[in-house]
Amino acid sequence: MDMKKAIIILGVIGLFLLAGGGIVYAIQSEMTIAAAALLWAGLLLVLFSMYANFTGLRDLLAKRSAKYGANMLVMIVIFGGVIALLAFFSTRNSKHWDLTKSGRYTLSDQTIKILKSLKSEVHAIAFYRSEAETLHAQQKLAAEDLLQEYSRHSPFFKYEFVDPDRNPALAIKYGVSEYRIILLLHEGKEVTVGRETEDKLTNALLNMTRGAVKTVYFLKGHGENDIASTQKNGYRAAKSAIEKESYKVKDLLLIAEQKVPDDAALLIVSCPKRDLMEEEMKRIAAYIRGGGKALFMLDPGYPLGVKQFLETYGFKIGDNVIVDKQSQVYGMNYLTPLVFMYDKMHPLTKDFNLASYFPFSCSVEVEADAKAGKYNLASTGPNSWAETDLKKLEGGEAEFNEGTEKRGPIPVMAVSIVTVPGSEKPQEGKATREIYGKIIVAGDSDFANNSNISLGGNGDLFLNTVNWLAEEADLISIRKKEEENTGVVLTVKQGRAIFWIPVVVIPSFVLFMMAAHYVRRRIGR
């Protein structure tokens, strides 16, 4: 091999070293020693080859074939410029699609509503290690994806990543002593979130931006569903779900109190087995007259006094049990009617489109009057009916009797508004408005117990009812269901490698070979 060929080979090796160094830098996203060494060695070899073979290079450029090669180079530069321009506009006007079956990388409607309601900046500081160990890289990548989604939906949500080992002063300032912590800062408030999950981050966001935490009271002392019970008919899951919406949840033994507490955002009466005492009824009535909100959930066989109390507010509660044999198609028994017809004018149910299941329910309705705030919110399907012959029902011989029983749709949830006469409530920056008491009655309490709250749309319907009554309409939504994570989790470097190799390296190599083949053919003519 003569000296001239050896110099040319060294130049080619230099080009490959430059390309290799560029690929390593793109994947590592930092100038590592390996990347710097490859780039420097490649640059030295290319410069040496050009200088040592300067005469041959000058003669080559003077040839006619070099002009064609220059034209090809110009075309390649133009093509690369177009690609770069498209990439620039795609980053400025980014769109993304979540193709996972469960929508794992899409935020829930509730989170999006909360983000869009932000009026001032929320700053998130994510304390994660920057080392390349697989576990830490996966955790940081998951947090980065989540925070990026949050920032996409609100210009007021900002975030940054901090390595506590490299910036210990900032970690000490905020009292962060461990990894995998997200700190939210908003108007002088600080909330710490452990681990990168949407529900925890959204709850923390709620706690920071909603001001005072509201309290939901559950009446007790009459055989109501127990919010501490983990049994099938208990309400422990309902209590936890309400607390995740950033409320306080407490029991209320009203007979031992002079009135419903002043901090009550909502009073829930869940299936009392015995009648309330007259004094308790008066205290609840006074609470409603003062603008209080109440949710009554009854079952067939409800106490007569509770029925009479609710009738004074316009509710008609049937002495019946709803039968829906179509429910058997969905794996339910015929005493679990399918509820899928919702009032599309009321803010609580207008956008609700999930089927709910009301095990062992009675009918509840009002004389609908939008001006008076009376709506039948939810109803069973047309194939159901209200069975009034309870003895025949107990014997398993339930059948629809034309003329004596009502065919569906049958309302099972209704609302009534109580105006507080002469009362006005000032709002900051707004005109004063009247105060309203609100009552919602459901003909079933089992739909929100531990066994059924996660069934169909039961949990969302229950929580949306709580939020509307507590005057937190922004939280009315369909919540994201937690799905098992079956996807492949890649580290940041693995993700960049998957992008750069098939999208950049292989196409550029093919383009290089095509150009080389073209130049070789031109030279050979």
Instruction: Assess whether pLDDT exceeds 70 at residue 66.
Output: no
CA gap 142, 6 in Å, rounded: 50
Q: Which CATH architecture has domain 109-208?
A: 3-Layer(aba) Sandwich (3.40)
**CB contact at 8 A, 147 and 126:** yes
**CB contact at 8 A, 303 and 328:** no
**Mean pLDDT, residues 84-93:** 59
Instruction: Assess whether pLDDT exceeds 60 at residue 65.
Output: no
What's the pTM value of the predicted model, to 2 decimals? 0.65
- pLDDT at position 34: 81
Which of 436, 104, 167, 442 lies closest to 302, judged by CA? Answer: 442
CA gap 59, 69 in Å, rounded: 14
Write the pLDDT tens digit of every residue in 317-366: 999 999 998 777 667 788 999 999 999 999 999 989 899 999 999 999 99
- pLDDT at position 99: 47
CA gap 223, 284 in Å, rounded: 18
Quote the mean pLDDT of the chain: 81
Q: Which residues contact 492 (CB under 8 A, 6 or more apart)?
A: 29, 137, 140, 141
**CB contact at 8 A, 160 and 122:** no
- pLDDT at position 473: 77
Instruction: Assess whether pLDDT exceeds 70 at residue 95.
Output: no
Q: Which CATH number fits domain 212-475: 3.30.70.20, 3.30.300.170, 1.20.140.10, 3.40.50.880?
A: 3.40.50.880
- pLDDT at position 484: 47
Write the pLDDT tens digit of every residue in 430-481: 555 578 899 999 999 999 999 999 998 999 999 999 999 998 877 776 666 6
Phi and psi, residue 247, nearest 5° = -115, 160
Rg over CA atoms, the chain: 34
